[in-house]
A and B are shown apart, each in its own frame.
Chain A
């Protein structure tokens, strides 16, 4: 009997979807880019299991358990989650050999927010408009809906033992602590001025104050609470402009919304700031009740930082730790 490798979701509390690095090229038709909220963590998770960085993986907020139905290699990234194989705790941000029948459990710690489970071979599902990312509101991409307990995800076939001999001991050359905000900690994100910055007379308020991430935050946007920008309500209804993840919108109530991966492609709210891509990944790791401070950077600085970021996203920086080997 030929079996396809697969992973079954045996437990889920929270929200999980299949994502990759996003659906590029269809914004002009109103299709959101979707993709991982923290692209850096997604890219590293794939690199740690020998996948191409854009392979489909599981993104989730909350707690998740998965059972392997064949020998698989997986890696868990995004913040600093607690990871177990059976009853043994194993490290995040490292390849894990998961024997057939073994159960992988991931629980949040007090650091980070959104986690990724990559599996060697990648989660297999149809490519929709160039991507396997799930866009739940549109009902398309992979399963077209959030994952639920009992779902079985097919995995691309790989020579697991051959792969393991090449990748065991891999770890990222990355300061994971810095990109895993602790609950209650303030996250500092760098941003350039946004499209309507010149028209917001009290933009300084946004740059001087601390804002708190509210519970009404999801893959579409992080809603922040803090001092309101009064000038936004005076602008009235603006013509819809093309928008993107990282845009800091100010609706008439003056409370900022940072657009995230599932954000709509156009919007009519004033755009005060634009968070640079590397820092948006870190913001994604901040949980509700964490606070955020915005720091302004120039377009030149933003271009330099984004260039470095894009290169790292395409080719994550990995080193090898000879001593450890994780079997389960």
Chain B
């Protein structure tokens, strides 16, 4: 992809926001990940915290150590450099399998996704489990995974009215992204199933082993297997 200029904004006296692209596409996400790992590699001594969004990155800095002007210059240099290399040169993605029980009480929106798609529920599950997803970013709530890209045939839009309470482990679809709720939280994604795995454990460090750029695949499991795997930590399951 062409190395266009990124939009960089400083605010608050300690934060730099890098807008990499406008639309959430796999190409955009790849260039974000290249920049993210380049920044982590080159600026970890200077920058306090680096956070990815789906189309942008934030850098938290100490203005007593470095100024916005200096950092913006470094980010522009690293942007140009990072886009010329292969992501695997700076980050080796890991692969994770997440077992999911689809439909029924655990996936109350599977019927609505199926009817949106004009497919049978089994076909939705088939399409959802047949792709390797990239972890775009984590955020919103602890351990929430933004994954993509979903097969366009099942890319149903989010719900008109979000739910107040969604159980931890719920797997949802929102347009071209699919996601896993790390903890119980409110949310508006269409829930098609649930993983029995514990996705986020604050007693571990890091509390979730999946990082931006990593690969996630879903595996459909029976209710019996769901019950058997209940509470197993995602890191242990994929050890």
Q: Which residue of A lies closest to B55 (CB)?
A: A239
Assess whether B26 is interfacial by the CB under 8 Å rule: no
A240 neighbours in B (Cβ, 8 Å): 53-54, 137, 139-140, 146
A195 neighbours in B (Cβ, 8 Å): 9, 11, 17, 19
A276 to B14, CA, bound (A): 9
A244 neighbours in B (Cβ, 8 Å): 12, 15, 58, 60
Task: Determine if A277 and B13 form an interchain contact, defined as CB atoms under 8 angstroms apart.
Answer: yes
Task: Determine if A310 and B64 form an interchain contact, defined as CB atoms under 8 angstroms apart.
Answer: yes
Assess whether B49 is interfacial by the CB under 8 Å rule: yes
A139 neighbours in B (Cβ, 8 Å): 183
Assess whether B142 is interfacial by the CB under 8 Å rule: yes
Q: Which residue of A lies closest to B36 (CB)?
A: A28
Assess whether A129 is interfacial by the CB under 8 Å rule: yes
Stretch in A69-77, A225-233, A297-305 touching the partner: A297-305
A148 to B111, CA, bound (A): 43
Assess whether B45 is interfacial by the CB under 8 Å rule: no
- CB-defined interface of A302-318 with B at 8 Å, one 1/0 digit per residue? 11111100110000000
Tell me whether A242 and B52 are in contact in the complex, defined as CB-CB below 8 angstroms, given that A29-B207, A31-B207 are known contacts. yes
Give residues 131-189 of A contacting B (CB, 8 Å): 137-140
Number of inter-chain CB pairs below 8 Å: 140
B51 neighbours in A (Cβ, 8 Å): 27-28, 242, 265-266
Partner of A311, one of B55, B64, B142: B64
A303 to B16, CA, bound (A): 12
Assess whether B198 is interfacial by the CB under 8 Å rule: no
Task: Determine if A129 and B10 form an interchain contact, defined as CB atoms under 8 angstroms apart.
Answer: no
Give residues 193-239 of B contacting A (CB, 8 Å): 200, 202-203, 205-208, 212
Task: Determine if B202 and A140 form an interchain contact, defined as CB atoms under 8 angstroms apart.
Answer: yes
By size class, the interface of chain B is: 35 or more
A129 neighbours in B (Cβ, 8 Å): 202, 205, 207
Q: B49 to nearest A CB, angstroms?
A: 6
Q: A191 to nearest B CB, angstroms?
A: 8
Assess whether A67 is interfacial by the CB under 8 Å rule: no
Tell me whether A192 and B17 are in contact in the complex, defined as CB-CB below 8 angstroms, given that A129-B205, A138-B183, A242-B52 are known contacts. no
Assess whether B50 is interfacial by the CB under 8 Å rule: yes
Which of A128, A139, A306 counts the most B-chain CB atoms under 10 A from its CB?
Answer: A306
A140 to B168, CA, bound (A): 15
Q: Which residue of B lies closest to A29 (CB)?
A: B138
Tell me whether A28 and B14 are in contact in the complex, defined as CB-CB below 8 angstroms, given that A129-B207, A138-B202, A266-B140 are known contacts. no
Assess whether B63 is interfacial by the CB under 8 Å rule: yes
B17 neighbours in A (Cβ, 8 Å): 195, 241-242
Assess whether A264 is interfacial by the CB under 8 Å rule: yes
Task: Determine if B142 and A31 form an interchain contact, defined as CB atoms under 8 angstroms apart.
Answer: yes
- CB-defined interface of A186-222 with B at 8 Å, one 1/0 digit per residue? 0000011111000000000000000000000000000
Q: A26 to nearest B CB, angstroms?
A: 8
Assess whether B169 is interfacial by the CB under 8 Å rule: no
B172 neighbours in A (Cβ, 8 Å): none
Task: Determine if B182 and A30 form an interchain contact, defined as CB atoms under 8 angstroms apart.
Answer: yes
A128 to B206, CA, bound (A): 11
Q: Which residue of B lies closest to A243 (CB)?
A: B58
Binding site for B on A (CB under 8 A): 24-32, 128-129, 137-140, 191-195, 239-242, 244, 246, 264-266, 274-277, 299, 301-307, 310-311
Binding site for A on B (CB under 8 A): 9-15, 17, 19, 22-24, 48-58, 60, 62-64, 67-68, 137-144, 146, 182-183, 185, 200, 202-203, 205-208, 212
| A-B pairs with lowest CB-CB distance, top 9 | A302-B13, A306-B13, A266-B139, A242-B58, A274-B11, A303-B63, A242-B51, A274-B12, A140-B202
